[in-house]
């Protein structure tokens, strides 16, 4: 009895192990009798994922020519173009001088201030001149005595009371007294500082009571009419500039262009800098420009009045080659060009493009021959109307061919 129970226990254990192993095999084979399978869903999900990846791959492998690139167009048109040369300089007064004293002395009075406008000959300052005034009075009195003596000698000579030699001595004394009087007057005048020309006082360098030395600057006086600008141009540029030519001058502080004229062109070339000095005259800008102010100068060196031109932004430069993307139907074509004059916004086209053609002005970075485009300013430049006309004409031609067949 005991052996039979032991045998039954081992048999039951073996059966349980076989059942567990069989269930594991069935699970691996996805054939569980109860519950349902989840592997089918996994497979389906994998299939869907593969399909999505395939679609993305298809999209990535699409031809770039089939994607429309947004661009901005411009039309090749005829216009005037001026080639110019830019330079920088400063505004100068017609005359800007330091007024100096010719003698040593103490300043007794200062009659003007910085910013004052003065006329020619106006007294600006005076030095103490009591001694010089007395010396001038003494010279005047001596001259009067010599003048009376000369008149008496003249009368005596006419009556033959004195000789010619005696009269000559009297006349020489009179002339010497007159010269001494003139010298005393000059010395007295040198104690007074006068304006040598009409202008504006830009700097006062003295005060009353100050002791000044000979040749010491007392004031700075400027004549602002006219103002001038001097620029130094390369010889090949200066050869294209002539007197009377109109020039634009833009002071940095204003940002507004003023008109100037070429007053003169130096006939020599500076051997150190290989440049030519060109002097410009500013007549209308006196009230706006300031002496010493920095200015930008734009000088026209050449001009074409009927040039075929496109915006400079449309140029594509690769090495030494220049090209443009020309819009045709719904795509572009790259053409090489030759250029002429430039200005700030446009460039002259000598060859490669015809009048009325549309070129890509903005957005040409990712373009190549045959790339499809979508103009964003088509209505503004007239592209939409032209493209619609071409589409209608093409449709009519296809309709005629269809009927003929």
**Which residues of the chain are under the pLDDT cut of 50?**
1-5, 25, 31-52, 54, 57, 59, 392-393
**Phi and psi for 353 in degrees, rounded to 5?**
-135, 145
The kind and range of the H/E element at 389 are helix 383-404
Cβ distance 83 to 343 under 8 Å? Answer: yes
pLDDT at 291: 87
pTM strictly above 0.75: no
In angstroms, rounded to a whole number, what is the distance separating the alpha carbons of residues 59 and 158? 131
Tell me if 195 sits within 8 A of 117, measured CB to CB: no
How confident is the model at residue 50, as a pLDDT? 46
User: What is the edge-to-edge ordering of all strands in the sheet holding 192-194?
Assistant: 192-194, 123-127, 105-110, 211-212
- The pLDDT assigned to 12 comes to 60
| pLDDT tens digits for range 42-87 | 334 444 444 445 455 454 555 555 678 899 999 999 999 888 899 9
Integer Cα distance of 366 and 317 in angstroms = 14
For residue 41, how far is the Cα from the chain centroid?
71
Q: Is 203 helix (H, G, I), strand (E, B) or coil?
A: strand
Over the stretch 142-172, which tens digit does the pLDDT of each residue have? 999 999 999 999 999 999 898 999 999 999 9
**Which domains can be identified in the chain, with CATH numbers?**
69-78+306-398 (2.40.420.20), 84-92+225-304 (2.40.30.170), 97-219 (2.40.50.100)
CB atoms within 10 A of CB 218: 21
Q: What is the pLDDT of residue 263?
A: 94
State residue 2's pLDDT score.
44
Pinpoint the alpha helices (H) of 190-307.
235-238
| pLDDT for 11 | 61
Can you read off the two tokens belonging to residue 42? 């996994």
């Amino acid at each position: 009895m005991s052996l039979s129970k032991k045998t039954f226990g081992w048999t039951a254990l073996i059966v349980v192990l076989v059942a567990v192993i069989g269930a594991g095999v069935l699970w691996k084979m996805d054939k569980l009798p109860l519950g349902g399978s989840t592997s089918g869903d996994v497979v389906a999900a994998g299939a869907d994922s593969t399909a999505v990846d395939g679609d993305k791959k298809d999209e990535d492998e699409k031809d770039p020519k089939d994607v429309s690139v947004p661009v901005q167009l411009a039309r090749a048109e005829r216009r005037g173009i001026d080639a110019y040369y830019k330079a920088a300089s400063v505004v100068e007064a017609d005359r800007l001088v330091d007024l100096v004293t010719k003698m040593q002395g103490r300043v007794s009075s200062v009659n003007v201030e910085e910013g004052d406008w003065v006329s020619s000959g106006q007294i600006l300052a005076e030095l103490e001149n009591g001694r010089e005034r007395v010396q001038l009075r003494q010279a005047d009195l001596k001259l009067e005595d010599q003048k009376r003596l000369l008149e008496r000698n003249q009368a005596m000579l006419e009556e033959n009371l004195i000789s010619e030699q005696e009269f000559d001595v009297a006349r020489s004394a009179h002339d010497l007294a007159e010269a001494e009087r003139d010298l005393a007057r000059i010395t007295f005048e040198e104690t007074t500082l006068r304006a040598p020309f009409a202008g504006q006082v830009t700097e006062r360098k003295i005060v009353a009571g100050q002791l000044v030395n000979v040749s010491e600057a007392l004031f700075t006086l400027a004549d602002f009419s006219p103002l001038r600008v001097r620029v130094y141009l390369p010889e090949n540029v200066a050869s294209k500039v002539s007197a009377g030519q109109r020039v634009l001058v833009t002071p940095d502080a204003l940002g507004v262009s003023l008109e100037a004229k070429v007053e003169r062109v130096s006939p020599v070339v500076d051997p150190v800098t290989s440049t030519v000095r060109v002097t410009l005259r500013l007549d209308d800008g006196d009230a706006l420009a300031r002496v010493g102010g920095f200015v930008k100068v734009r000088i026209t060196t050449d001009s074409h009045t009927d040039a075929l031109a496109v915006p400079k932004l449309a140029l594509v430069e690769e090495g030494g080659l220049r090209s443009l993307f020309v819009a045709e139907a719904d795509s572009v074509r790259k053409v090489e060009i030759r250029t002429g004059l430039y200005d700030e916004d446009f460039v002259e086209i000598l060859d490669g493009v015809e009048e009325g053609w549309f070129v890509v002005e903005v957005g040409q970075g990712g373009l190549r021959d045959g790339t499809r485009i979508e103009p964003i300013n088509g209505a503004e430049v007239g592209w939409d109307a032209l493209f619609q006309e071409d589409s209608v004409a093409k449709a009519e031609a296809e309709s005629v061919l269809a009927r003929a067949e």
